[in-house]
Amino acid sequence: ESGSENLSPTKQRYIEETLADFREAGADLPSEQKKRASEIQSLLAELTQKYSENCLDGTNAWEKIVTDEKQLTGLPKSALDAARQSAEEKGTEGWRFTLQAPSYIPVMTYADSDVLRKEVWSAYAAIGRSGEHDNRQLVRQILDLRHEFAQLVGQKNFANHATERRMAASGQAALDFGEEIFQKVRSQFEKEAEQLRRYKAAEEDLPADHPSLLEPWEVGYWAERQRKANYAFDEEALRPYFPIDHVISGMFEIAQQIFGLRIKERHTSKIWHEEVQFYDLFDSEANEHLGSFYADWHPRESKRGGAWMNYFITGNRDPSVGERSPHLGLICGNLTPAVGDQPALLTHREVETIFHEFGHLLHHLCGDVEVKSLNGVNVPWDFVELPSQIMENWCWERESLDRIARHHETGDTIPQELFDKLLAARNYMKASANVRQLAFGKMDLELHMHWADSPLEDIDAFVENVLQDYSATYKTQPKSNVFNFSHLFSSPTGYAAGYYSYKWAEVLDADAFTRFQKEGILNAETGRDFRVKILAKGNSEDPAKLYKDFMHRAPDPDALLRRDGLIA
Ligand code: ZN
Protein backbone atom coordinates (compact mmCIF):
# COMPACT_ATOMS: atom_id res chain seq x y z
CA GLU A 1 0.00 0.00 0.00
CA SER A 2 2.79 2.41 0.91
CA GLY A 3 4.98 1.16 -1.89
CA SER A 4 7.69 0.18 0.58
CA GLU A 5 7.26 -3.61 0.30
CA ASN A 6 10.43 -4.03 -1.74
CA LEU A 7 12.63 -2.21 0.71
CA SER A 8 14.90 -3.94 3.17
CA PRO A 9 13.40 -4.44 6.65
CA THR A 10 15.65 -1.69 7.99
CA LYS A 11 14.50 0.81 5.36
CA GLN A 12 10.90 -0.18 6.04
CA ARG A 13 11.43 0.46 9.71
CA TYR A 14 12.97 3.79 8.86
CA ILE A 15 9.82 4.79 6.97
CA GLU A 16 7.56 3.55 9.76
CA GLU A 17 9.54 5.42 12.39
CA THR A 18 9.56 8.60 10.35
CA LEU A 19 5.80 8.42 9.79
CA ALA A 20 5.30 7.78 13.50
CA ASP A 21 7.40 10.85 14.30
CA PHE A 22 5.07 12.96 12.17
CA ARG A 23 1.95 11.34 13.58
CA GLU A 24 3.11 11.83 17.15
CA ALA A 25 3.71 15.50 16.42
CA GLY A 26 0.16 15.83 15.11
CA ALA A 27 1.19 16.39 11.50
CA ASP A 28 -1.65 14.33 9.99
CA LEU A 29 -4.47 15.95 11.96
CA PRO A 30 -7.23 18.06 10.36
CA SER A 31 -6.20 21.69 10.28
CA GLU A 32 -8.17 22.91 13.32
CA GLN A 33 -6.70 20.19 15.53
CA LYS A 34 -3.29 20.61 14.02
CA LYS A 35 -3.42 24.26 14.97
CA ARG A 36 -4.41 23.38 18.52
CA ALA A 37 -1.60 20.78 18.71
CA SER A 38 1.01 23.36 17.82
CA GLU A 39 -0.57 25.87 20.20
CA ILE A 40 -0.27 23.32 23.00
CA GLN A 41 3.37 22.73 22.19
CA SER A 42 4.23 26.41 22.42
CA LEU A 43 2.24 26.79 25.64
CA LEU A 44 4.09 23.81 27.07
CA ALA A 45 7.41 25.30 26.06
CA GLU A 46 6.51 28.51 27.90
CA LEU A 47 5.08 26.91 31.04
CA THR A 48 7.84 24.35 31.47
CA GLN A 49 10.40 27.10 31.01
CA LYS A 50 8.69 29.03 33.82
CA TYR A 51 8.59 25.90 36.00
CA SER A 52 12.28 25.40 35.47
CA GLU A 53 13.06 29.02 36.34
CA ASN A 54 10.97 28.75 39.49
CA CYS A 55 12.95 25.69 40.61
CA LEU A 56 16.19 27.52 39.99
CA ASP A 57 15.13 30.86 41.51
CA GLY A 58 13.44 29.12 44.43
CA THR A 59 16.65 27.24 45.10
CA ASN A 60 18.79 30.35 44.85
CA ALA A 61 16.47 32.52 46.94
CA TRP A 62 17.58 30.90 50.17
CA GLU A 63 20.84 30.99 52.08
CA LYS A 64 21.94 30.36 55.63
CA ILE A 65 24.96 31.97 57.22
CA VAL A 66 26.39 30.21 60.25
CA THR A 67 28.91 32.11 62.34
CA ASP A 68 29.32 29.71 65.24
CA GLU A 69 31.50 26.77 64.17
CA LYS A 70 30.12 24.65 67.02
CA GLN A 71 26.89 24.33 65.05
CA LEU A 72 28.76 22.64 62.24
CA THR A 73 30.24 19.56 63.87
CA GLY A 74 30.10 16.41 61.77
CA LEU A 75 30.56 18.21 58.45
CA PRO A 76 33.62 17.06 56.49
CA LYS A 77 36.39 19.54 55.83
CA SER A 78 35.56 19.75 52.13
CA ALA A 79 32.00 20.93 52.94
CA LEU A 80 33.27 23.44 55.53
CA ASP A 81 35.85 24.83 53.13
CA ALA A 82 33.24 25.22 50.41
CA ALA A 83 30.84 26.97 52.82
CA ARG A 84 33.61 29.28 54.01
CA GLN A 85 34.55 30.15 50.45
CA SER A 86 30.92 30.76 49.54
CA ALA A 87 30.62 33.20 52.47
CA GLU A 88 33.81 34.98 51.44
CA GLU A 89 32.52 35.37 47.88
CA LYS A 90 29.44 37.05 49.28
CA GLY A 91 31.59 39.27 51.47
CA THR A 92 30.34 37.85 54.77
CA GLU A 93 31.89 36.21 57.80
CA GLY A 94 31.28 32.57 58.70
CA TRP A 95 29.98 29.73 56.60
CA ARG A 96 27.33 30.03 53.91
CA PHE A 97 24.97 27.18 53.05
CA THR A 98 22.57 27.01 50.13
CA LEU A 99 20.00 24.59 48.70
CA GLN A 100 22.26 23.62 45.81
CA ALA A 101 23.19 19.95 45.91
CA PRO A 102 26.92 20.29 46.76
CA SER A 103 25.97 22.38 49.82
CA TYR A 104 22.64 20.72 50.75
CA ILE A 105 23.66 17.06 50.55
CA PRO A 106 26.64 17.19 52.96
CA VAL A 107 24.49 19.03 55.53
CA MET A 108 21.73 16.41 55.35
CA THR A 109 24.28 13.57 55.46
CA TYR A 110 26.84 14.70 58.02
CA ALA A 111 25.75 17.68 60.16
CA ASP A 112 25.27 16.57 63.76
CA SER A 113 22.90 19.43 64.49
CA ASP A 114 19.25 18.41 64.19
CA VAL A 115 18.28 22.06 64.24
CA LEU A 116 20.46 22.89 61.28
CA ARG A 117 19.31 19.88 59.27
CA LYS A 118 15.67 20.63 60.01
CA GLU A 119 16.01 24.23 58.91
CA VAL A 120 17.80 23.34 55.67
CA TRP A 121 15.43 20.45 54.93
CA SER A 122 12.36 22.61 55.48
CA ALA A 123 13.66 25.28 53.15
CA TYR A 124 14.39 22.66 50.49
CA ALA A 125 10.97 21.02 50.83
CA ALA A 126 9.31 24.40 50.30
CA ILE A 127 10.88 25.05 46.88
CA GLY A 128 8.20 25.58 44.26
CA ARG A 129 5.41 25.65 46.80
CA SER A 130 4.86 29.28 47.67
CA GLY A 131 5.56 32.94 47.07
CA GLU A 132 7.17 34.24 43.93
CA HIS A 133 8.38 30.88 42.66
CA ASP A 134 5.20 28.88 43.05
CA ASN A 135 4.90 25.91 40.67
CA ARG A 136 1.61 24.51 41.95
CA GLN A 137 -0.64 26.03 39.33
CA LEU A 138 1.91 25.43 36.57
CA VAL A 139 2.01 21.69 37.19
CA ARG A 140 -1.77 21.46 36.80
CA GLN A 141 -1.63 23.40 33.55
CA ILE A 142 1.25 21.33 32.18
CA LEU A 143 -0.46 18.06 33.02
CA ASP A 144 -3.74 19.22 31.47
CA LEU A 145 -2.03 20.33 28.27
CA ARG A 146 -0.04 17.13 27.94
CA HIS A 147 -3.21 15.13 28.40
CA GLU A 148 -5.06 17.17 25.82
CA PHE A 149 -2.20 16.76 23.36
CA ALA A 150 -2.05 12.99 23.85
CA GLN A 151 -5.79 12.73 23.19
CA LEU A 152 -5.50 14.92 20.11
CA VAL A 153 -3.01 12.52 18.56
CA GLY A 154 -5.21 9.57 19.41
CA GLN A 155 -3.76 8.33 22.70
CA LYS A 156 -5.62 7.61 25.88
CA ASN A 157 -3.17 9.56 28.01
CA PHE A 158 0.26 11.18 27.91
CA ALA A 159 2.08 8.15 29.30
CA ASN A 160 0.88 6.04 26.38
CA HIS A 161 1.92 8.78 23.99
CA ALA A 162 5.43 8.92 25.51
CA THR A 163 6.01 5.17 25.78
CA GLU A 164 4.33 3.86 22.64
CA ARG A 165 7.59 3.43 20.77
CA ARG A 166 9.72 2.60 23.76
CA MET A 167 10.42 -0.88 24.99
CA ALA A 168 7.71 -0.62 27.64
CA ALA A 169 5.18 0.21 24.85
CA SER A 170 2.46 1.49 27.23
CA GLY A 171 2.03 3.43 30.45
CA GLN A 172 0.33 0.48 32.09
CA ALA A 173 3.22 -1.87 31.26
CA ALA A 174 5.68 0.58 32.80
CA LEU A 175 3.46 0.93 35.87
CA ASP A 176 3.09 -2.85 36.25
CA PHE A 177 6.82 -3.27 35.91
CA GLY A 178 7.48 -0.98 38.88
CA GLU A 179 4.71 -2.48 40.96
CA GLU A 180 6.08 -6.01 40.48
CA ILE A 181 9.50 -4.98 41.79
CA PHE A 182 7.97 -3.00 44.64
CA GLN A 183 6.00 -6.00 45.89
CA LYS A 184 9.21 -8.02 45.99
CA VAL A 185 11.27 -5.48 47.93
CA ARG A 186 8.50 -4.14 50.13
CA SER A 187 9.13 -6.22 53.25
CA GLN A 188 12.88 -5.62 53.03
CA PHE A 189 12.19 -1.90 52.63
CA GLU A 190 10.09 -1.87 55.80
CA LYS A 191 12.78 -3.85 57.61
CA GLU A 192 15.46 -1.35 56.66
CA ALA A 193 13.38 1.54 57.99
CA GLU A 194 12.78 -0.30 61.25
CA GLN A 195 16.46 -1.19 61.55
CA LEU A 196 17.47 2.44 61.10
CA ARG A 197 14.97 3.55 63.73
CA ARG A 198 16.40 1.00 66.17
CA TYR A 199 19.94 1.99 65.33
CA LYS A 200 19.21 5.59 66.24
CA ALA A 201 17.40 4.56 69.43
CA ALA A 202 20.42 2.49 70.49
CA GLU A 203 22.87 5.28 69.69
CA GLU A 204 20.82 7.74 71.71
CA ASP A 205 20.50 5.29 74.59
CA LEU A 206 16.76 5.00 74.15
CA PRO A 207 15.27 1.54 74.79
CA ALA A 208 15.34 -0.60 71.61
CA ASP A 209 11.55 -0.83 71.57
CA HIS A 210 11.21 2.93 71.87
CA PRO A 211 8.51 3.69 69.33
CA SER A 212 9.70 7.13 68.33
CA LEU A 213 9.79 7.52 64.56
CA LEU A 214 12.48 9.33 62.63
CA GLU A 215 11.98 12.78 61.22
CA PRO A 216 12.63 13.09 57.47
CA TRP A 217 15.66 15.30 58.13
CA GLU A 218 17.18 12.55 60.26
CA VAL A 219 17.13 9.76 57.71
CA GLY A 220 20.18 10.67 55.61
CA TYR A 221 22.23 11.45 58.70
CA TRP A 222 21.45 8.25 60.60
CA ALA A 223 21.75 6.14 57.48
CA GLU A 224 25.27 7.50 57.03
CA ARG A 225 26.19 6.85 60.66
CA GLN A 226 24.88 3.30 60.44
CA ARG A 227 26.75 2.75 57.20
CA LYS A 228 29.96 3.97 58.72
CA ALA A 229 29.53 1.76 61.77
CA ASN A 230 28.65 -1.44 59.93
CA TYR A 231 30.27 -1.12 56.55
CA ALA A 232 33.21 1.07 57.41
CA PHE A 233 35.11 1.03 54.23
CA ASP A 234 37.65 3.51 53.11
CA GLU A 235 37.18 4.02 49.41
CA GLU A 236 40.59 5.69 49.30
CA ALA A 237 42.20 2.33 50.17
CA LEU A 238 41.25 1.10 46.71
CA ARG A 239 42.80 3.98 44.80
CA PRO A 240 46.37 2.58 44.66
CA TYR A 241 44.95 -0.42 42.76
CA PHE A 242 43.54 1.73 40.00
CA PRO A 243 46.36 3.56 38.19
CA ILE A 244 44.62 5.00 35.14
CA ASP A 245 46.84 3.46 32.44
CA HIS A 246 46.31 -0.01 33.81
CA VAL A 247 42.57 0.53 34.15
CA ILE A 248 42.23 1.73 30.56
CA SER A 249 44.41 -0.99 29.07
CA GLY A 250 42.59 -3.60 31.18
CA MET A 251 39.23 -2.28 30.00
CA PHE A 252 40.36 -2.37 26.36
CA GLU A 253 41.67 -5.90 26.87
CA ILE A 254 38.34 -7.10 28.24
CA ALA A 255 36.35 -5.45 25.45
CA GLN A 256 38.72 -6.84 22.80
CA GLN A 257 38.48 -10.34 24.19
CA ILE A 258 34.74 -10.58 24.65
CA PHE A 259 33.46 -8.49 21.76
CA GLY A 260 35.99 -9.59 19.13
CA LEU A 261 37.57 -6.17 18.70
CA ARG A 262 41.04 -4.68 18.35
CA ILE A 263 41.88 -1.22 19.66
CA LYS A 264 45.00 0.54 18.48
CA GLU A 265 46.28 3.97 19.44
CA ARG A 266 47.06 6.26 16.53
CA HIS A 267 49.38 9.21 17.04
CA THR A 268 47.98 12.32 15.46
CA SER A 269 48.49 16.02 15.83
CA LYS A 270 44.80 16.70 15.20
CA ILE A 271 43.84 16.92 18.84
CA TRP A 272 42.66 19.85 20.96
CA HIS A 273 44.95 19.20 23.90
CA GLU A 274 48.14 17.22 24.41
CA GLU A 275 46.36 14.99 26.93
CA VAL A 276 43.87 13.74 24.34
CA GLN A 277 44.48 10.31 22.86
CA PHE A 278 43.17 8.90 19.60
CA TYR A 279 42.33 5.26 18.84
CA ASP A 280 41.14 3.11 15.95
CA LEU A 281 38.78 0.23 16.54
CA PHE A 282 38.79 -2.86 14.32
CA ASP A 283 36.87 -6.08 14.08
CA SER A 284 39.55 -8.53 15.14
CA GLU A 285 38.53 -11.30 12.75
CA ALA A 286 37.80 -9.38 9.56
CA ASN A 287 40.40 -6.75 10.47
CA GLU A 288 37.85 -4.19 9.35
CA HIS A 289 38.07 -0.58 10.57
CA LEU A 290 34.78 0.07 12.41
CA GLY A 291 35.53 3.48 13.77
CA SER A 292 37.80 5.73 15.79
CA PHE A 293 37.54 7.67 18.98
CA TYR A 294 39.16 10.37 21.06
CA ALA A 295 39.72 9.88 24.78
CA ASP A 296 40.01 12.93 27.02
CA TRP A 297 40.16 11.82 30.64
CA HIS A 298 41.11 14.63 32.97
CA PRO A 299 39.62 17.94 34.09
CA ARG A 300 40.76 21.27 32.69
CA GLU A 301 39.39 24.69 33.43
CA SER A 302 37.65 25.10 30.11
CA LYS A 303 36.03 21.68 30.20
CA ARG A 304 32.53 20.97 31.46
CA GLY A 305 32.13 18.58 34.39
CA GLY A 306 31.04 14.93 34.47
CA ALA A 307 31.70 12.08 32.06
CA TRP A 308 30.07 11.54 28.69
CA MET A 309 30.26 10.08 25.22
CA ASN A 310 29.73 12.12 22.06
CA TYR A 311 29.17 10.79 18.59
CA PHE A 312 30.75 13.05 16.01
CA ILE A 313 30.18 10.93 12.92
CA THR A 314 27.74 8.08 12.58
CA GLY A 315 28.96 5.77 9.85
CA ASN A 316 27.18 2.92 8.12
CA ARG A 317 27.70 0.18 5.61
CA ASP A 318 26.26 0.60 2.17
CA PRO A 319 24.81 -2.84 1.48
CA SER A 320 24.91 -2.38 -2.31
CA VAL A 321 28.70 -2.04 -2.39
CA GLY A 322 29.52 -3.54 1.00
CA GLU A 323 31.70 -0.58 1.85
CA ARG A 324 31.76 0.90 5.29
CA SER A 325 32.13 4.49 6.38
CA PRO A 326 33.66 4.41 9.87
CA HIS A 327 32.19 6.00 12.99
CA LEU A 328 33.88 8.69 15.03
CA GLY A 329 33.28 9.28 18.72
CA LEU A 330 34.65 10.81 21.89
CA ILE A 331 34.84 9.58 25.46
CA CYS A 332 35.32 12.27 28.07
CA GLY A 333 35.87 12.26 31.79
CA ASN A 334 36.95 14.43 34.66
CA LEU A 335 39.00 11.78 36.41
CA THR A 336 41.46 12.37 39.22
CA PRO A 337 44.64 13.67 37.56
CA ALA A 338 48.20 12.57 38.31
CA VAL A 339 49.92 14.29 41.22
CA GLY A 340 53.69 14.80 41.16
CA ASP A 341 55.41 11.68 39.85
CA GLN A 342 52.58 9.41 40.99
CA PRO A 343 50.27 8.14 38.25
CA ALA A 344 46.60 9.18 38.28
CA LEU A 345 44.95 6.87 40.82
CA LEU A 346 41.20 6.42 40.39
CA THR A 347 38.37 5.60 42.75
CA HIS A 348 36.27 2.51 42.08
CA ARG A 349 33.36 4.82 41.26
CA GLU A 350 35.49 6.55 38.63
CA VAL A 351 36.42 3.18 37.14
CA GLU A 352 32.74 2.32 36.93
CA THR A 353 32.04 5.62 35.20
CA ILE A 354 34.68 4.93 32.52
CA PHE A 355 33.21 1.51 31.87
CA HIS A 356 29.74 3.03 31.61
CA GLU A 357 30.73 5.65 29.06
CA PHE A 358 32.87 3.13 27.18
CA GLY A 359 29.69 1.03 26.82
CA HIS A 360 27.93 3.98 25.13
CA LEU A 361 30.99 4.42 22.93
CA LEU A 362 31.02 0.75 21.87
CA HIS A 363 27.29 0.95 21.10
CA HIS A 364 28.10 3.83 18.76
CA LEU A 365 31.26 2.34 17.21
CA CYS A 366 29.87 -1.18 16.70
CA GLY A 367 26.69 0.07 15.02
CA ASP A 368 26.16 -1.83 11.78
CA VAL A 369 22.89 -0.48 10.41
CA GLU A 370 22.57 0.79 6.86
CA VAL A 371 20.34 3.75 7.82
CA LYS A 372 22.40 6.19 9.89
CA SER A 373 19.52 7.60 11.90
CA LEU A 374 18.72 4.09 13.12
CA ASN A 375 22.33 3.26 13.89
CA GLY A 376 24.30 3.23 17.13
CA VAL A 377 22.85 4.91 20.19
CA ASN A 378 19.76 6.27 18.37
CA VAL A 379 17.54 3.83 20.26
CA PRO A 380 14.52 4.27 22.57
CA TRP A 381 15.21 5.76 25.97
CA ASP A 382 14.47 2.73 28.06
CA PHE A 383 16.98 0.74 25.98
CA VAL A 384 19.87 3.18 25.55
CA GLU A 385 21.46 2.51 28.95
CA LEU A 386 21.69 -1.26 28.48
CA PRO A 387 25.04 -1.21 26.62
CA SER A 388 26.51 1.29 29.09
CA GLN A 389 25.23 -0.10 32.34
CA ILE A 390 26.05 -3.70 31.49
CA MET A 391 29.73 -2.70 31.24
CA GLU A 392 29.71 -1.64 34.92
CA ASN A 393 29.20 -5.27 35.90
CA TRP A 394 32.78 -6.06 34.90
CA CYS A 395 33.93 -3.72 37.67
CA TRP A 396 32.37 -5.96 40.32
CA GLU A 397 33.57 -9.44 39.35
CA ARG A 398 36.79 -10.81 40.78
CA GLU A 399 37.94 -12.30 37.48
CA SER A 400 37.59 -9.10 35.46
CA LEU A 401 38.60 -6.80 38.29
CA ASP A 402 41.94 -8.60 38.42
CA ARG A 403 42.51 -7.53 34.82
CA ILE A 404 41.99 -3.85 35.56
CA ALA A 405 43.18 -3.45 39.14
CA ARG A 406 46.90 -3.70 39.99
CA HIS A 407 48.63 -1.87 42.82
CA HIS A 408 50.71 0.83 41.16
CA GLU A 409 53.78 0.07 43.32
CA THR A 410 53.59 -3.64 44.16
CA GLY A 411 51.62 -4.95 41.18
CA ASP A 412 49.32 -6.86 43.56
CA THR A 413 45.66 -7.49 42.84
CA ILE A 414 43.01 -6.23 45.29
CA PRO A 415 43.18 -8.18 48.60
CA GLN A 416 40.16 -10.42 49.16
CA GLU A 417 39.25 -8.65 52.40
CA LEU A 418 39.03 -5.29 50.67
CA PHE A 419 37.04 -6.81 47.81
CA ASP A 420 34.53 -8.33 50.28
CA LYS A 421 34.06 -4.95 51.93
CA LEU A 422 33.47 -3.33 48.56
CA LEU A 423 30.72 -5.84 47.81
CA ALA A 424 29.08 -5.51 51.25
CA ALA A 425 29.01 -1.71 51.06
CA ARG A 426 27.45 -1.90 47.59
CA ASN A 427 24.16 -3.29 48.85
CA TYR A 428 23.71 -1.16 51.95
CA MET A 429 20.04 -0.08 52.28
CA LYS A 430 19.37 -1.19 48.70
CA ALA A 431 15.66 -1.80 49.25
CA SER A 432 15.20 1.82 50.33
CA ALA A 433 17.17 3.04 47.32
CA ASN A 434 15.01 0.89 45.06
CA VAL A 435 11.75 2.12 46.57
CA ARG A 436 12.83 5.73 46.25
CA GLN A 437 13.40 5.31 42.49
CA LEU A 438 10.22 3.27 42.10
CA ALA A 439 8.21 5.95 43.92
CA PHE A 440 9.44 8.67 41.53
CA GLY A 441 8.62 6.42 38.60
CA LYS A 442 5.15 5.64 39.90
CA MET A 443 4.35 9.26 40.73
CA ASP A 444 5.42 10.30 37.23
CA LEU A 445 3.34 7.64 35.47
CA GLU A 446 0.26 8.10 37.66
CA LEU A 447 0.28 11.86 37.05
CA HIS A 448 0.48 11.26 33.30
CA MET A 449 -2.14 8.51 33.26
CA HIS A 450 -4.70 9.09 35.98
CA TRP A 451 -4.59 12.68 37.22
CA ALA A 452 -6.84 13.90 34.39
CA ASP A 453 -9.67 11.62 35.51
CA SER A 454 -9.05 11.80 39.22
CA PRO A 455 -11.87 12.95 41.47
CA LEU A 456 -9.23 14.47 43.76
CA GLU A 457 -8.88 18.23 43.44
CA ASP A 458 -5.44 18.58 44.86
CA ILE A 459 -2.16 17.28 43.41
CA ASP A 460 -0.60 16.73 46.83
CA ALA A 461 -3.57 14.59 47.87
CA PHE A 462 -3.39 12.67 44.59
CA VAL A 463 0.31 11.93 44.95
CA GLU A 464 0.01 11.05 48.62
CA ASN A 465 -2.70 8.59 47.71
CA VAL A 466 -0.78 6.80 44.94
CA LEU A 467 2.42 6.65 46.99
CA GLN A 468 0.92 5.50 50.28
CA ASP A 469 2.73 2.16 50.36
CA TYR A 470 5.92 3.59 48.92
CA SER A 471 6.60 6.01 51.77
CA ALA A 472 8.22 5.13 55.04
CA THR A 473 6.43 6.50 58.09
CA TYR A 474 8.00 9.56 59.67
CA LYS A 475 7.06 11.75 62.55
CA THR A 476 6.51 14.61 60.10
CA GLN A 477 5.21 13.22 56.82
CA PRO A 478 7.04 14.97 53.95
CA LYS A 479 5.18 16.22 50.89
CA SER A 480 6.22 15.04 47.45
CA ASN A 481 8.82 16.82 45.32
CA VAL A 482 6.40 17.25 42.44
CA PHE A 483 6.78 21.06 42.43
CA ASN A 484 10.56 20.88 42.33
CA PHE A 485 11.21 17.99 39.97
CA SER A 486 12.90 19.30 36.85
CA HIS A 487 13.11 15.87 35.23
CA LEU A 488 9.36 15.83 34.74
CA PHE A 489 8.36 19.43 34.16
CA SER A 490 11.29 21.43 32.78
CA SER A 491 10.62 20.76 29.13
CA PRO A 492 7.54 19.90 27.08
CA THR A 493 8.41 16.19 27.29
CA GLY A 494 11.77 15.63 29.00
CA TYR A 495 11.58 12.65 31.35
CA ALA A 496 7.80 12.96 31.67
CA ALA A 497 6.37 9.43 31.78
CA GLY A 498 9.97 8.30 31.38
CA TYR A 499 11.41 8.25 34.87
CA TYR A 500 10.68 4.52 35.12
CA SER A 501 13.35 3.94 32.49
CA TYR A 502 16.19 4.20 35.05
CA LYS A 503 14.94 1.11 36.83
CA TRP A 504 13.93 -0.52 33.58
CA ALA A 505 17.46 -0.21 32.21
CA GLU A 506 18.91 -1.56 35.45
CA VAL A 507 16.79 -4.66 35.07
CA LEU A 508 17.95 -5.09 31.48
CA ASP A 509 21.64 -4.81 32.37
CA ALA A 510 21.47 -7.01 35.47
CA ASP A 511 19.48 -9.63 33.61
CA ALA A 512 21.55 -9.63 30.40
CA PHE A 513 24.70 -9.95 32.47
CA THR A 514 23.43 -13.22 33.99
CA ARG A 515 24.14 -14.82 30.61
CA PHE A 516 27.78 -13.83 30.99
CA GLN A 517 27.79 -15.11 34.56
CA LYS A 518 26.48 -18.44 33.35
CA GLU A 519 28.67 -18.79 30.30
CA GLY A 520 31.78 -17.05 31.59
CA ILE A 521 32.15 -13.35 32.12
CA LEU A 522 35.05 -13.25 29.65
CA ASN A 523 33.41 -15.68 27.25
CA ALA A 524 34.08 -14.50 23.70
CA GLU A 525 31.07 -16.27 22.22
CA THR A 526 28.63 -14.65 24.59
CA GLY A 527 30.29 -11.29 24.03
CA ARG A 528 30.21 -11.70 20.28
CA ASP A 529 26.54 -12.55 20.51
CA PHE A 530 25.90 -9.38 22.53
CA ARG A 531 27.78 -7.34 19.96
CA VAL A 532 25.94 -8.82 16.97
CA LYS A 533 22.45 -8.86 18.51
CA ILE A 534 22.49 -5.66 20.56
CA LEU A 535 25.45 -3.34 19.90
CA ALA A 536 25.43 -3.70 16.11
CA LYS A 537 21.67 -3.35 15.74
CA GLY A 538 20.97 0.21 16.81
CA ASN A 539 17.27 0.91 16.37
CA SER A 540 16.94 -1.28 13.27
CA GLU A 541 14.45 -3.50 15.09
CA ASP A 542 12.09 -3.30 18.04
CA PRO A 543 14.34 -3.28 21.17
CA ALA A 544 12.14 -5.87 22.87
CA LYS A 545 12.93 -8.19 19.98
CA LEU A 546 16.66 -7.42 20.13
CA TYR A 547 16.66 -8.24 23.81
CA LYS A 548 14.86 -11.50 23.18
CA ASP A 549 17.25 -12.43 20.40
CA PHE A 550 20.09 -12.21 22.90
CA MET A 551 18.43 -13.69 25.99
CA HIS A 552 15.86 -15.97 24.28
CA ARG A 553 13.26 -14.64 26.69
CA ALA A 554 11.79 -11.43 28.14
CA PRO A 555 13.71 -9.52 30.87
CA ASP A 556 13.49 -10.93 34.39
CA PRO A 557 13.41 -8.32 37.20
CA ASP A 558 14.64 -10.89 39.72
CA ALA A 559 18.14 -10.56 38.27
CA LEU A 560 18.36 -7.01 39.57
CA LEU A 561 16.99 -7.92 42.98
CA ARG A 562 19.49 -10.75 43.23
CA ARG A 563 22.34 -8.40 42.35
CA ASP A 564 21.07 -5.92 44.93
CA GLY A 565 21.12 -8.69 47.55
CA LEU A 566 17.35 -8.45 48.05
CA ILE A 567 16.42 -11.97 47.05
CA ALA A 568 18.45 -15.17 47.17
ZN1 ZN B 1 24.61 6.46 30.36
Instruction: Give yes or no for residue 5 having a pLDDT over 80.
Output: no
Q: How far is the CA of 237 from the centre of ligand 1 (A)?
A: 27
Pairing state between β 64-66 and 95-97:
antiparallel
> How many Å from the N-terminal Cα to the C-terminal Cα in the chain?
53
pLDDT in the model for residue 539? 96
Q: How far is the CA of 389 from the centre of ligand 1 (A)?
A: 7
**What one-character DSSP code corresponds to residue 156?**
S
Q: How far is the CA of 534 from the centre of ligand 1 (A)?
A: 16
Residues in the 5 Å CB sphere of ion ligand 1: 388
- Interval 154-166: pLDDT, tens: 999 999 999 999 9
Res. 304 pLDDT band, cuts 50 70 90: confident
Which class for 525: exposed (0-12), middle (13-18), buried (19 or more C-beta within 10 A)? exposed
Is there a contact between 90 and 96 (Cβ–Cβ < 8 Å)?
yes
**Cα dihedral sign, 298-301-307-308:** negative
Which of 357, 392, 446, 506 is an active site residue? 357
Four-CA torsion 132, 135, 140, 146, nearest 10 degrees: 120
Distance CA 331, CA 295 (A): 5
Distance CA 369, CA 167 (A): 19
* Single pTM value for the model: 0.91
Buried b / exposed e along 69-95 (16+ C-beta atoms within 10 A): eeebebbeeebeebbeebbeeeeeebb
- Angle at alpha carbon of residue 487, lines to 485 and 491, rounded to 5°: 110
pLDDT in the model for residue 70? 95
Nearest by Cα to 377 from 313, 318, 332: 313
pLDDT in the model for residue 2? 53
Kindly state the greatest CA–CA separation across the chain: 78
Angle between helices 31-60 and 136-152 (to 10 degrees): 150
Beta partners for residue 283, in sequence order: 261
pLDDT in the model for residue 367? 96
Instruction: Give yes or no for residue 1 having a pLDDT over 80.
Output: no
- Half-sphere exposure of residue 482, counting CA atoms within 13 Å on the CB side? 29
Task: Report, as an integer, the average pLDDT of 400-423.
Answer: 95
Q: CB within 8 A of 163, min separation 6: which ones?
A: 169, 170, 171, 173, 174, 382, 497, 498
pLDDT in the model for residue 516? 98
Annotation marks residue 350 as catalytic: no
Q: How far is the CA of 517 from the centre of ligand 1 (A)?
A: 22
Cα Rg of the chain (Å, integer): 25
If one compares 438 and 271, the residue with the highest pLDDT of the two is 438
Q: How far is the CA of 457 from the centre of ligand 1 (A)?
A: 38
pLDDT in the model for residue 4? 63
Q: How far is the CA of 288 from the centre of ligand 1 (A)?
A: 27
Q: How far is the CA of 513 from the centre of ligand 1 (A)?
A: 17
Pairing state between β 327-332 and 308-313:
antiparallel
